[in-house]
Amino acid sequence: MSPKNLLFLTASLFLALLDITFVVYNNQRAEESFQHVIQEEGENLHRDYEATKAQTLDNLLFVATYISRDEQVQLLFEQATRAVEEEGGGPGGPRAAELRQQLLAEVQSSWQEVQKTFDARQLHFHLPPGSTSFLRVHKPEKFGDNMDNLRHIIVATNQDQTPRTGFETGRVYSGLRGVVPVFAPETSPEGPRHLGALEVGTSFEEIIKLFQQQYQIHGGVILTPTHITEKMWPDYVEERFGSDLLSCQCGIESKSSDFFPELIMLMQEKELAFFTSGTRTLESGETHYAVTRIPLYDYQASQSSQLGPAGSVIFWRDITADVRALESTLRFNILLGLLGFLFIELLLFLGLRLSLQHLEKEVERKTLELRQKNLHLHKISITDPLTGLYNRNAISKNIEEGIQQHQKHGQPLSLLLLDIDHFKTINDTYGHPAGDQVLITLAQLLRSNLRETDCPGRWGGEEFLLVCANTRLDQACKMAEKIHHCLNTTDFPGVGKVTASFGVVSHQLEEDASQLITRCDQALYQAKENGRNQVVAKE
């Protein structure tokens, strides 16, 4: 063989080897990019779910707070608790039954409105000291059962009278819940004593439906057999879950598609753990799926690291078209690699690079879209939907940050809590739309009269809380008087003059957030007791 032919053969073999190397390299990059997109979509889906769940829990807590502060509800519940005590506890007797029906009639209309507006599924009054059912508005024929060893979120709320949210399973119902303590009305002879707890709940079905509508992603929720059998009534378990507990070792709580049971069986066949976090692709015949699993912990597990998940939230989408596109890209790369030699190799290299650049741009585009969605969901998660101000969760975080600044750097922190006087009368007289407009107008008034460093938010119902960083008590009082004056000189559309009572406090170094808020609430109550429409500061 001549040196020229040897050189040509060597060059050809070198180029062929280089060709193969480039093909293998670019195919590997394409597969890695594809897997990266799938994993990142799963991570962003997990974050979107957590933000949506947090907003849902805030909404439930808002509804529970609103209903629990209705004076007629408080009065009836106070009479009911006395009747139960006088009639031997448990379900009580005839007087308790009569008051149970009166309370049901009182909350029925507002409960129907809450169901429409917030997709709520459960309204439940509980008696202390633990958790004894007094009235299930959603299932009024069931009452009187004691759930001290089952409804831990209720027991905790009745123990310390602190609002809570979380996921928990009851006798017949499993879902997200907001729980608040209920107190006797201020007009009660014994004062605002603690009566029990009020719980508002919804199912995961609404969150799953939201993801299906907005992102075209299906979802479902499963519970562990142990969790189901320990919590629910046995006859309801058989009726609700049937053979699911045996066939897949899980109970399907909710789903957006009838395909979900088949997906569960596919996950079992592929040995994909149900109750661990992560995203993985699965293949069933000609169809490919991206499956994201999010472990579901109930309230009791959230308080103890020793307890495992109660179930799992599972999202999936059909990625067959994406897989086919990837396979097409891989085949195209191999075909180009077979063309060989210098000119073809050069064209191949350029083509592959262009293809890879296009894929990377697509990854960047999808990443940007996901980030924009995350920003939007984050804004929703910290914003009150009616007034556009910060919600309770965001305000609570701002208070914690202000306390840290005070403790570390000596920057004073003041709170200003205002409550619209006779707001229930406004709703009853002019209607709830007019009441909502009063809240919106007051929010606009707050924005126009506060400094950039002030953090206004809707604390709940008709209460608004202002977090004033680096502000002394006297400065906060001046601010409260300014807002008070503006409020008294403002005509509210369709309502006229509206007044409010103000409570102002400044943080003391030994206080935590709960103690600071309690003092602010006490100052507000003092303003109410003094005749309303005034500012009361509390040292």
Which single residue is written with the structure tokens 């309801």?
236
The pLDDT value recorded for residue 249 is 76
The pLDDT value recorded for residue 21 is 79
Chain centre distance of CA 466:
23
> In the structure encoding, which two tokens stand for residue 439, read together?
């809240």
Residues of the chain with pLDDT under 50: 348
Pick left, alpha or beta for residue 217 (phi over 0 → left; psi -120 to 50 → alpha; otherwise beta). beta
Establish whether the linkage from the previous residue to 185 is cis, with ω within 30° of 0: no
Q: Name, in order, each residue with C-beta under 8 angstroms of 254's C-beta and a sequence gap of 6 or more.
A: 203, 204, 205, 208, 220, 221
Q: What is the pLDDT of residues 24-44, one digit of tens each?
A: 777 788 788 888 899 999 999
Q: 442-447 long-range contacts, Cβ below 8 Å, gap at least 24?
A: 442/387, 442/487, 442/498, 442/500, 443/387, 443/388, 443/389, 445/483, 445/486, 445/487, 445/490, 446/389, 446/483, 447/389
The pLDDT value recorded for residue 347 is 55
The pLDDT value recorded for residue 348 is 47
DSSP tag of 232: S
Q: Which residues are catalytic?
A: 462
> In the structure encoding, which two tokens stand for residue 121, read together?
């599924």
Q: Which of 133, 144, 136, 82 is nearest to 107 (CA)?
A: 136
> In the structure encoding, which two tokens stand for residue 165, read together?
């949210």
Whole-model pTM: value is: 0.58
The pLDDT value recorded for residue 270 is 87
The pLDDT value recorded for residue 19 is 65
